[in-house]
Structure 1
């Protein structure tokens, strides 16, 4: 935690460790998902704090009853979209761009090789069929 004028900045870090078959999905994807969920949870906490702080400050002296306002919790769809948005932001962050470009080049090369192999194989089959039809 760090004081910043009238507010406080919270620096956080999450660590997700998964083993077994689920870990074979890719630790990077799991780390990104965990960070996105942590970030969205802290944003929800911030919304709760802001709503309760603003809700208690409005009133006319002792006559008004302060009722803390609470934002509605997100639906499952909103939560999933928020996690996906944070994952995309994390994947396209500057520190990940080199890795992303490297993976894109490898994927493009692999697709090109597969295309050439399939084209070559289809040509061989077409030649065999043409010979049998003669």
Structure 2
């Protein structure tokens, strides 16, 4: 079986449903899609993609890398708008350096990272 033609969705474990909803809907501005039930829900995103969030305290925030990336047209504008809503962007020196806003410019694209209340890392990327 070749999975390259199959749709794929990101799944993120969180520890507290109310806190996650406040962040994903209240801060990030995502809208919950159909089919939600207690402890599990999905946010439809661009190009038919989905961010699925589920309550699993033992797994929340345990990923050591970026769990999902949002492709944006203007990363600086997205960082500014989300910062105004209370999102804190990560600052790195290594393995990549970010500026004071938390934006890394690789020369071929720009990226900024932030975490949800459980410490799951997300990226905004402008290519």
Compute the TM-score of the two structures, normalised by the length of structure 2. Answer: 0.17
The structure in which a higher percent of residues are helix is 1
TM-score scaled by length of structure 1 = 0.16
Higher RCO (Cα < 8 Å, 6 or more apart): 2
